């Protein structure tokens, strides 16, 4: 299958707060480059650049004002005399006002985020817009008749909501691709999220809609990030009621329980009869991932790919998380080769 990749991701390399210190983020440029190296070594197929798309195509998954915020955040930040990465430090939780958009960047960073995990850097917009464009390009390929494509997106996207960055995510690449599939004539789209962390952003974007079914297997939010989203009783709202399906799994989940949950997901997806499948492909379910708590072995990722192939749907794989940099390339390629059979 074709892999879509852009070197623009290298312009985004940020920090995170860990052990009471600012450290280089687990979400680093080496991730995408090691995956690319493995794609090449395995001769998975052609590697191509994405096509540039107008940022208006990100609207739908996101609000127009949020996209504008992302585009302007670095220049707004540097205009205040700052030269280091911008991190939010205050959020409009419960009793605070969340209906008014602040005018200054310190307020706007908190207004448009859920945590301090998504720094704004000089290269962030270049990287995130290129990443979303890879997902859009991949979707165009699948809608033109390819059985599958791989968008090697970095930064990842699934924590990013309609008006919110967080968890290393800014633009929700998978949701942007799903929305584009609808624009281009798909009647029903499924986003299946197999990243270890719940895809709260994707859930949020489609929560009130029945034209995109969101299905997610993830660490139970009782114990796992993002803590405030991903429970089984989140099933959608209004027209979307019944079109959001969360399968939270215990810490330590290994392949047998994972496979069982995947079969439950498969039944829901089959009943929905989608035209196209978007897979939010995180490999932080790996047993040696440094920030996650499942126990999938490298060989299990082949089985995951085989299982998804049996769904028989045109499929766009969109890269999400996975932080054991030495192994993520092999694990991703295992899924894609398992899918191709």
By CB under 6 A, name the binding residues for ligand Q9C. 117, 156, 158-159, 167-169, 195, 197, 225, 282, 284, 291, 320-321
Q: Should residue 221 be labelled a site residue for Zn ion when binding is judged by CB under 5 A?
A: no
Q: Should residue 321 be labelled a site residue for Zn ion when binding is judged by CB under 5 A?
A: yes
Residue 117 binds: one of Zn ion, ligand Q9C, none (C-beta under 5 to 8 A by kind): ligand Q9C
What residue is closest to ligand Q9C based on CB?
321
Would residue 197 show up in a list of annotated catalytic residues for this protein?
Answer: no
Residue 168 binds: one of Zn ion, ligand Q9C, none (C-beta under 5 to 8 A by kind): ligand Q9C
Q: Is the CB of 134 or the CB of 319 nearer to Zn ion? A: 319
Minimum distance from residue 105 beta carbon to Zn ion (Å) = 27
Cα–Cα distance for residue pair 304/149, rounded to 1 Å: 16
What residue is closest to Zn ion based on CB?
321
Residue 225 binds: one of Zn ion, ligand Q9C, none (C-beta under 5 to 8 A by kind): ligand Q9C
The two three-digit tokens of residue 116, written as one number: 């301090």
Q: Is the CB of 9 or the CB of 209 nearer to Zn ion? A: 9
Q: Is the CB of 296 or the CB of 313 nearer to ligand Q9C? A: 296
Find the binder of Zn ion among 12, 62, 197, 295 (CB under 5 A).
Answer: 197
Cα–Cα distance for residue pair 154/177, rounded to 1 Å: 14
Find the binder of Zn ion among 33, 193, 195, 234 (CB under 5 A).
Answer: 195
Q: Is the CB of 118 or the CB of 334 nearer to ligand Q9C? A: 118
Find the binder of Zn ion among 16, 133, 284, 289 (CB under 5 A).
Answer: 284
Cα–Cα distance for residue pair 91/12, rounded to 1 Å: 24
Q: Could you say which of 9, 53, 158, 159 is catalytic?
A: 159
Minimum distance from residue 229 beta carbon to ligand Q9C (Å) = 12
Q: Is the CB of 219 or the CB of 240 nearer to ligand Q9C? A: 219
Q: Which residues are catalytic?
A: 159
Interface residue list for Zn ion (CB under 5 A): 195-197, 282, 284, 321
């Amino acid at each position: 299958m074709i892999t879509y990749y852009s070197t623009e991701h290298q312009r985004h390399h940020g920090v995170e707060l860990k052990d009471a210190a600012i450290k280089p983020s687990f979400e680093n440029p080496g991730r995408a480059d090691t995956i690319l190296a493995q794609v090449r070594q395995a001769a998975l197929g052609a590697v191509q650049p994405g096509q540039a798309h107008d940022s208006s195509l990100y609207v739908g998954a996101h609000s127009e004002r949020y996209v504008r915020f992302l585009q302007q955040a670095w220049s707004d930040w540097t205009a205040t005399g700052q030269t280091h990465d911008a991190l939010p430090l205050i959020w409009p939780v419960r009793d605070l006002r969340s209906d008014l958009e602040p005018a200054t960047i310190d307020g706007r960073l908190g207004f448009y985020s859920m945590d301090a995990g998504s720094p704004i850097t000089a290269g962030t917009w270049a990287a995130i817009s290129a990443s979303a464009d890879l997902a859009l390009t991949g979707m165009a390929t699948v809608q033109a008749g390819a059985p599958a494509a791989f968008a090697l997106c970095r930064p990842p996207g699934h924590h990013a909501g309609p008006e919110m960055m967080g968890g290393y995510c800014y633009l929700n690449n998978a949701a942007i691709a799903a929305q584009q599939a609808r624009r281009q004539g798909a009647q029903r789209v499924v986003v299946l999220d197999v990243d270890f962390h719940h895809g709260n952003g994707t859930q949020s974007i489609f929560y009130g809609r029945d034209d995109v079914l969101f299905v997610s297997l993830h660490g139970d939010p009782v114990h796992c990030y993002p803590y405030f989203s991903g429970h089984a009783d989140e099933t959608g709202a209004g027209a979307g009621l019944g079109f959001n399906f969360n399968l939270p799994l215990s810490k330590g989940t290994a392949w047998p329980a994972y496979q069982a949950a995947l079969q439950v997901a498969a039944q829901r997806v089959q009943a929905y009869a989608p035209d196209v499948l978007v897979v939010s492909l995180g490999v932080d379910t790996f047993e040696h991932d440094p920030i996650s708590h499942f126990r999938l072995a490298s060989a299990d990722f082949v089985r995951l790919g085989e299982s998804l192939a049996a769904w028989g749907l045109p499929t766009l794989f969109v890269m999400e998380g996975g932080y054991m940099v030495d192994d993520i390339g092999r694990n991703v390629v295992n899924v894609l080769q398992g899918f191709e059979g």
